[in-house]
Structure 1
Amino acid sequence: MHTYLPFLLAMIAAIVLLNTLANKLKIAYPILLVVAGLLIGFVPGLPMVRINPDLIFFIFLPPLLFEASWNISFKEMKRWWRIIGSFAFLVVFFTALSVAIVAHHFIPGFTIALGFLLGGIVSPPDAISTGAITRFVKIPKTTSAILEGESLLNDASSLIIFRFALIAVGTGQFFWQEAALTFVWMIIGGAGIGLLLAWIFVQIHKRLPLDAPSNIALTIIEPYFMYWLAEQFHCSGVLAVVCGGLFLSSKRLIFFNSTSRIQSSSVWDSFVFILNGFVFLIIGLELPEIVEGLRDKGIPLWTAICSGVLITGVLVAARVISSYAALIATYIFRPGVMPRASSNKRRWLMPMLLGWTGMRGVVSLAAALAIPITLDNGAPFPQRNLILFITFIVILLTLLVQGLTLPIFIRRTRLFEGVIEEESEELTKQKMKQGLKEHVYQFLKNKYETELNGHSGMEKFLKQWEERAKANDDSWMNLKTKVIFVELLESQRQYLTELNKDPKIDEDMIRQQLYQIDLEEERLKII
């Protein structure tokens, strides 16, 4: 333990420093992390870090998926459910099938089952990598919502493929009818268990007198419990976490107070950031052992690299082809929902953008590391080291090549210049704030009209909300005005919740305004 602890602390420090460097260079931090993992793995004298493959999914995936589902806009997911569903399921299956066929024909020793296993591992694009890369370029909310929604659901579909392929490799048999029934049960059962547990957790948060640290601690164990219970019933633990996270996110204003919401945001951001960094660095630490395993099997390093480049090309081509197929199908069957663009040329460049955003990352790494070392009969798992190596090459190439060129592609093509939006973000914010002011006036006038007349404290109270400025002298805030203040804040939350039902309003702006209201309530507590 004393040997590993300084090393683990050094890894966390390295993750923080690399993220700082990435922000300064204005590149996505997963790019530097994966390169650093590659370099660190070949530093002599470092302790060997090994994690039980069975625990990889359980340690890393539940909190990462839970955090993503907690922050995503469910309203946007419902709005674009057709394209999100097609990319999350149909495109993932098509990509896995393409990888399986190519791997079976061109990589020596790969059966079709091993090809599907590899396809299930590398088919899902990574939301964190894509989000980190697109942070440095401005893209429409519609595009980012589609990418986020797709990345949240494609993890479930790809890992289902991964599980079936593992069974086929281990048993040498695959029954389509049994697989179809199992597939349906995994989806329905996983979603049902996740929603049921989420409802139970909401009742626990509401009915127990929990303070902010207790609430946050409970949210950390919730995704693990959802995942574990779903897996016990042979359902999709991924779907359980995603559905449960979406349900809890929609109820956060009910069972979380302002303190819990503010503190949980910081805790989860740091927690997920460290988990992502560890996953990227762990594969680098295991890479020397993987390379040594390739040599023991007589697989030349150059052959393994070529295999990784080949699979990367298949992934990019499959995603681009799928993107254009989706656009053509939309153009033929539903032209009314075609993506907005200032010209036909830019409209037909959109599928290339969607195809080029398929960076791989954490889920692929976790899935590759979760491959068991041996089969049930004790024999070594076939081609495990080669699959791990190909996965690393895929992640490295997609992050470096696509990740570094994506911002350049968007700027050079001027893809989103002149895109007609329903309303600019600034105009929408102004309307929302103006609506809040009018709501404040009506609330105070209807409920506290007598207190407003001739009361200097109440007049100052009203002015403070109208101008959104902090007063230097808070002596006017007595017990009576505090009660009104809290009621006013809660009324604004209800107003914003109703406003969020408008499909034209971006949910991220609603959440930002709700966060500001939480900050106001916290400031009130220390006056």
Structure 2
Amino acid sequence: MLAIPLLIRDLVLFLTIALVTNLVTRKLAVPYTLGSVIIGLVVGIIGVTPEVRLTPDLVLFVFLPALLFEGAWNVKCSLLRTNWKVIFFLAESGLLLSFGTSASFLHLFDHIDWSTALLLAAILSPTDPVAVLGLFRQLHVNERLANIIESENLLNDGVAGSLYQIFLTFVLLNLHSVAPTGWAALGSGLGQFLMEAGGGLLFGFISGLLISQGLKRIDDPQIETSATLIAAYGVFWTADALHLSAIIAVIMLGLLRGNYGRNTAMTEQAKGDIDTFWNIIAFLANAFIFMLIGVQFHSYIHTLFSTPGLTI
């Protein structure tokens, strides 16, 4: 178990590095995420924080809800309706094409069974434009273009997350030789996708609507800001516990709170406070993730060069 003093030390170190990296990359007009990876790699090589690890639970339950909610909160539904054809083509057609191509190559050329190939394709196919979006914000790029990229990213995450859960289930069932095959597998997969994605969509919508209605009579920026944080993590955890798509649930929650809730249940001061709060949360989450990727990469470099005669 990580000791509290070491945890505080590492948090202060990473926060300081994140702030300095952000300042330098702004001056150079390059994505701070790129700088974070490079600095993280240097920190990993030096070995300042040997106990730090980027774990799946850390990404899924600590960083992901915040990044999803912040992204959805900033998407304007008016622009989403105007650009829905472009967004749908990029998010769905592009993702499914990449998904099918990746799975086919893995199966045909690496001789991986279809269930595992589809699972790997679901992991590899979605794009992550966080570095691009960060650069957009630094350069104040056209709002319509930024909205298209942000919306496409959110839909990608939602669909890919559901596909991942489906094919992970198939892989686990295959290990016990009880997985369906043929049309039965297709029907089972489609049914599970509709249940997870549709259930997550409905759960996020109901949660966002209830929270927005509940906050109508409250005029306190601190409470309203805290409510968004509780809602983002609470909806994600609850949807995951109910075996619904937690990603889609939080995206729907963020869209509803960032549009309907913002316009019907918030004062101007609350809107500004919440915007500032989530911008800081998203910046810290992205900075920590990419720095930890750099730190984690050190172990792979060590493995790569651990052959006789090679050292790092």
Does TM, normalized by the shorter one, top 0.5? yes
Residue 131, structure 1, aligned to residue 138, structure 2: no
Shift of 1:47: 2.8
Q: What is the identity, as a one-letter code, of the residue corresponding to 2:93?
A: L
**1:237 pairs with 217, 241, 246, which one?**
246
Question: Are the counterparts in 2 of residues 48 and 285 from structure 1 also a CA contact under 8 Å?
Answer: no
Give the whole-Å Cα distance in 1 for the aligned partners of 2:256 and 2:293.
Answer: 33
Give the whole-Å Cα distance in 2 for the aligned partners of 1:70 and 1:99.
Answer: 31
**1:249 pairs with 243, 258, 263, which one?**
258
Residues 156-187 of structure 1: CA deviation (Å, up to 9, x unaligned): 01112222232233232352211100111112
Q: For this pair of structures, how many residues does the alignment match?
A: 296
Question: Are the counterparts in 2 of residues 11 and 278 from structure 1 also a CA contact under 8 Å?
Answer: yes
Residues 283-332 of structure 1: CA deviation (Å, up to 9, x unaligned): 22222334567799x9xx9xxxxxxxxxxxxxxxxxxxxxxxxxxxxxxx
Partner of 1:193: 203
Select between 287-296 and 33-42 the one with higher mean Cα deviation: 287-296
**2:189 pairs with 175, 179, 194, which one?**
179
Q: Please give the residue correspondences for 1:322-361 in structure 2 after superposition, counting only pairs within 5 Å.
A: none
Question: Are the counterparts in 2 of residues 66 and 223 from structure 1 also a CA contact under 8 Å?
Answer: yes
Residue 13, structure 1, aligned to residue 13, structure 2: no
Give the whole-Å Cα distance in 2 for the aligned partners of 1:289 and 1:282.
Answer: 12
Question: Are the counterparts in 2 of residues 66 and 241 from structure 1 also a CA contact under 8 Å?
Answer: yes
Q: Please give the residue correspondences for 1:60-459 in structure 2 after superposition, counting only pairs within 5 Å.
A: 60-107=63-110, 110-135=112-137, 140-172=142-174, 173=179, 175-207=185-217, 209=218, 211-250=220-259, 251-290=261-300
Partner of 1:363: none
Give the whole-Å Cα distance in 2 for the aligned partners of 1:70 and 1:268.
Answer: 9
Shift of 1:136: 6.1
Give the whole-Å Cα distance in 2 for the aligned partners of 1:50 and 1:136.
Answer: 29
Q: What is the identity, as a one-letter code, of the residue corresponding to 1:21?
A: V
Question: Are the counterparts in 2 of residues 127 and 152 from structure 1 also a CA contact under 8 Å?
Answer: no
**DSSP-derived class of the 1:276 partner:** helix
Residue 57, structure 1, aligned to residue 71, structure 2: no
Residues 265-285 of structure 1: CA deviation (Å, up to 9, x unaligned): 211111110011111112222
Q: What is the identity, as a one-letter code, of the residue corresponding to 1:185?
A: M
Question: Are the counterparts in 1 of residues 77 and 255 from structure 2 also a CA contact under 8 Å?
Answer: yes
1:233–1:99 Cα change, 3 Å = same
Give the whole-Å Cα distance in 1 for the aligned partners of 2:186 and 2:118.
Answer: 14
Give the whole-Å Cα distance in 1 for the aligned partners of 2:12 and 2:57.
Answer: 24
1:139–1:44 Cα change, 3 Å = closer
Shift of 1:57: 1.0
Structure with the bigger RCO (C-alpha within 8 Å, sep 6+) is: 2
**DSSP-derived class of the 2:60 partner:** helix
Question: Are the counterparts in 2 of residues 93 and 158 from structure 1 also a CA contact under 8 Å?
Answer: no
For structure 1, the residue ranges without an aligned partner over 5 or more in a row are 302-527
Question: Are the counterparts in 1 of residues 72 and 255 from structure 2 also a CA contact under 8 Å?
Answer: yes
Partner of 1:46: 49
Shift of 1:196: 0.5
Give the whole-Å Cα distance in 2 for the aligned partners of 1:245 and 1:3.
Answer: 34
Indicate the percent of aligned positions where both proteins have the same amino acid. 26
1:6–1:223 Cα change, 3 Å = same
Residues 21-51 of structure 1: CA deviation (Å, up to 9, x unaligned): 1111111111111222223222235231135
Residues 229-276 of structure 1: CA deviation (Å, up to 9, x unaligned): 222222111111111111111221321112211222211111110011
Partner of 2:36: 33
Q: TM-score, normalised by structure 1?
A: 0.52
Give the whole-Å Cα distance in 1 for the aligned partners of 2:237 and 2:162.
Answer: 16
Give the whole-Å Cα distance in 1 for the aligned partners of 2:304 and 2:194.
Answer: 37
For structure 2, the residue ranges without an aligned partner over 5 or more in a row are none
Q: RMSD of aligned C-alpha atoms?
A: 2.6
Q: What is the identity, as a one-letter code, of the residue corresponding to 1:198?
A: G
Give the whole-Å Cα distance in 1 for the aligned partners of 2:58 and 2:289.
Answer: 13
Residues 474-513 of structure 1: CA deviation (Å, up to 9, x unaligned): xxxxxxxxxxxxxxxxxxxxxxxxxxxxxxxxxxxxxxxx
Give the whole-Å Cα distance in 2 for the aligned partners of 1:40 and 1:60.
Answer: 21
Residues 383-406 of structure 1: CA deviation (Å, up to 9, x unaligned): xxxxxxxxxxxxxxxxxxxxxxxx
